Protein backbone atom coordinates (compact mmCIF):
# COMPACT_ATOMS: atom_id res chain seq x y z
CA UNK A 1 0.00 0.00 0.00
CA UNK A 2 1.40 3.37 -0.99
CA UNK A 3 1.84 5.97 1.77
CA UNK A 4 -0.55 8.91 1.22
CA UNK A 5 2.04 11.31 2.69
CA UNK A 6 5.34 10.45 0.98
CA UNK A 7 4.15 8.05 -1.77
CA UNK A 8 6.58 5.36 -0.55
CA UNK A 9 5.47 1.78 -1.32
CA UNK A 10 6.83 0.02 1.77
CA UNK A 11 4.20 0.24 4.54
CA UNK A 12 3.52 -2.19 7.36
CA UNK A 13 0.21 -3.22 8.90
CA UNK A 14 0.28 -2.38 12.61
CA UNK A 15 -3.29 -3.40 13.56
CA UNK A 16 -6.28 -5.06 11.85
CA UNK A 17 -9.82 -5.34 13.14
CA UNK A 18 -13.25 -5.99 11.67
CA UNK A 19 -15.68 -3.08 11.29
CA UNK A 20 -19.21 -2.58 9.94
CA UNK A 21 -20.43 -5.81 11.55
CA UNK A 22 -17.66 -7.81 9.90
CA UNK A 23 -18.28 -6.43 6.41
CA UNK A 24 -14.97 -4.58 6.30
CA UNK A 25 -11.51 -4.71 7.81
CA UNK A 26 -9.89 -1.60 9.24
CA UNK A 27 -6.09 -1.61 9.00
CA UNK A 28 -3.71 0.81 10.72
CA UNK A 29 -0.56 1.15 8.66
CA UNK A 30 2.89 2.58 9.32
CA UNK A 31 5.15 4.05 6.65
CA UNK A 32 8.76 2.97 7.16
CA UNK A 33 10.02 5.89 5.07
CA UNK A 34 8.36 8.92 6.70
CA UNK A 35 7.16 7.30 9.95
CA UNK A 36 3.53 8.46 9.62
CA UNK A 37 0.51 6.29 10.30
CA UNK A 38 -2.70 6.05 8.27
CA UNK A 39 -5.82 3.92 8.11
CA UNK A 40 -7.14 1.84 5.22
CA UNK A 41 -10.34 -0.17 4.85
CA UNK A 42 -10.75 -3.42 2.98
CA UNK A 43 -14.25 -4.29 1.71
CA UNK A 44 -15.76 -6.77 -0.67
CA UNK A 45 -16.49 -5.02 -3.92
CA UNK A 46 -20.21 -5.17 -4.43
CA UNK A 47 -21.78 -5.39 -7.86
CA UNK A 48 -24.14 -2.68 -8.99
CA UNK A 49 -27.41 -4.46 -9.52
CA UNK A 50 -30.05 -3.03 -11.83
CA UNK A 51 -33.71 -3.70 -11.12
CA UNK A 52 -35.88 -4.27 -14.20
CA UNK A 53 -39.32 -2.87 -13.45
CA UNK A 54 -42.66 -4.02 -14.89
CA UNK A 55 -42.60 -1.32 -17.57
CA UNK A 56 -39.11 -2.37 -18.71
CA UNK A 57 -37.34 0.61 -17.17
CA UNK A 58 -34.24 0.05 -15.08
CA UNK A 59 -32.98 1.58 -11.86
CA UNK A 60 -30.21 0.68 -9.46
CA UNK A 61 -31.03 -1.59 -6.53
CA UNK A 62 -31.97 0.47 -3.49
CA UNK A 63 -32.05 -1.17 -0.08
CA UNK A 64 -33.86 1.90 1.26
CA UNK A 65 -36.88 1.27 -0.98
CA UNK A 66 -37.23 -2.25 0.38
CA UNK A 67 -36.91 -0.99 3.95
CA UNK A 68 -39.54 1.71 3.39
CA UNK A 69 -41.97 -0.75 1.80
CA UNK A 70 -41.64 -3.19 4.67
CA UNK A 71 -41.90 -0.41 7.26
CA UNK A 72 -45.18 0.78 5.68
CA UNK A 73 -46.56 -2.77 5.59
CA UNK A 74 -45.60 -3.31 9.25
CA UNK A 75 -46.88 0.06 10.46
CA UNK A 76 -48.84 -0.31 13.73
CA UNK A 77 -48.05 -4.04 13.78
CA UNK A 78 -46.10 -5.85 16.53
CA UNK A 79 -42.94 -6.19 14.42
CA UNK A 80 -39.78 -4.70 15.90
CA UNK A 81 -37.17 -2.85 13.86
CA UNK A 82 -34.54 -5.56 14.40
CA UNK A 83 -36.81 -8.09 12.67
CA UNK A 84 -37.44 -5.70 9.80
CA UNK A 85 -33.71 -5.03 9.43
CA UNK A 86 -33.05 -8.79 9.38
CA UNK A 87 -35.67 -9.22 6.65
CA UNK A 88 -34.09 -6.47 4.54
CA UNK A 89 -30.63 -8.03 5.03
CA UNK A 90 -31.90 -11.44 3.89
CA UNK A 91 -33.62 -9.95 0.85
CA UNK A 92 -30.50 -7.98 -0.07
CA UNK A 93 -28.37 -11.11 0.39
CA UNK A 94 -30.78 -13.09 -1.79
CA UNK A 95 -30.49 -10.53 -4.58
CA UNK A 96 -26.69 -10.36 -4.29
CA UNK A 97 -26.36 -14.16 -4.24
CA UNK A 98 -28.02 -14.37 -7.65
CA UNK A 99 -24.78 -12.97 -9.10
CA UNK A 100 -26.77 -11.26 -11.85
CA UNK A 101 -26.34 -7.71 -13.12
CA UNK A 102 -30.12 -7.34 -13.62
CA UNK A 103 -32.95 -8.63 -11.44
CA UNK A 104 -36.69 -8.43 -12.11
CA UNK A 105 -38.67 -6.36 -9.65
CA UNK A 106 -41.13 -9.28 -9.50
CA UNK A 107 -38.40 -11.47 -7.97
CA UNK A 108 -37.63 -8.86 -5.32
CA UNK A 109 -41.33 -8.38 -4.59
CA UNK A 110 -41.73 -12.13 -4.11
CA UNK A 111 -38.75 -12.22 -1.71
CA UNK A 112 -40.37 -9.42 0.32
CA UNK A 113 -43.73 -11.18 0.41
CA UNK A 114 -42.12 -14.48 1.45
CA UNK A 115 -40.37 -12.74 4.36
CA UNK A 116 -43.51 -10.86 5.43
CA UNK A 117 -45.66 -13.99 5.26
CA UNK A 118 -43.38 -15.63 7.84
CA UNK A 119 -43.24 -12.60 10.16
CA UNK A 120 -46.71 -11.02 10.08
CA UNK A 121 -49.60 -12.07 7.87
CA UNK A 122 -51.42 -8.74 8.13
CA UNK A 123 -48.30 -6.94 6.94
CA UNK A 124 -48.04 -9.52 4.16
CA UNK A 125 -51.60 -8.79 2.96
CA UNK A 126 -50.94 -5.04 3.15
CA UNK A 127 -47.80 -5.33 1.05
CA UNK A 128 -49.39 -7.78 -1.41
CA UNK A 129 -52.40 -5.49 -1.90
CA UNK A 130 -50.15 -2.68 -3.09
CA UNK A 131 -47.59 -4.82 -4.89
CA UNK A 132 -50.15 -6.92 -6.78
CA UNK A 133 -52.48 -3.94 -7.19
CA UNK A 134 -55.59 -5.47 -5.67
CA UNK A 135 -58.58 -3.87 -7.34
CA UNK A 136 -61.49 -5.02 -5.18
CA UNK A 137 -62.47 -6.68 -1.91
CA UNK A 138 -62.77 -10.11 -3.56
CA UNK A 139 -59.04 -10.09 -4.31
CA UNK A 140 -58.35 -9.43 -0.62
CA UNK A 141 -60.67 -12.26 0.39
CA UNK A 142 -58.98 -14.70 -2.00
CA UNK A 143 -55.54 -13.82 -0.63
CA UNK A 144 -56.71 -14.23 2.95
CA UNK A 145 -58.34 -17.58 2.09
CA UNK A 146 -54.98 -18.75 0.68
CA UNK A 147 -53.32 -17.85 3.98
CA UNK A 148 -55.98 -19.67 5.99
CA UNK A 149 -55.75 -22.78 3.81
CA UNK A 150 -51.95 -22.89 4.18
CA UNK A 151 -52.31 -23.30 7.94
Q: What is the predicted pLDDT for the residue at 148? A: 81
Residues 6+ apart with CB under 8 A from 142: none
What's the mean pLDDT in 22-32?
Answer: 92
Q: How confident is the model at residue 144 (pLDDT cuts 50, 70, 90)?
A: confident
**Does residue 151 carry a pLDDT above 70?**
no
Mean pLDDT of the chain: 90
Q: How confident is the model at residue 22 (pLDDT cuts 50, 70, 90)?
A: confident
The most confident of the ranges 33-47, 66-80, 91-105 is: 66-80
Q: What is the predicted pLDDT for the residue at 11? A: 94
Share of the chain above pLDDT 90, in %: 62
Whole-number Cα distances in Å, 129 to 69, 102, 109: 12, 25, 12
Amino acid sequence: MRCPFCEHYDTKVVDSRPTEEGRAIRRRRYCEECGKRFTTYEKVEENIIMVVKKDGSRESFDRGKILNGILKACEKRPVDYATIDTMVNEIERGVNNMMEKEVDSAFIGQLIMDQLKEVDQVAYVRFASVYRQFTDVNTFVKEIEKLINQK
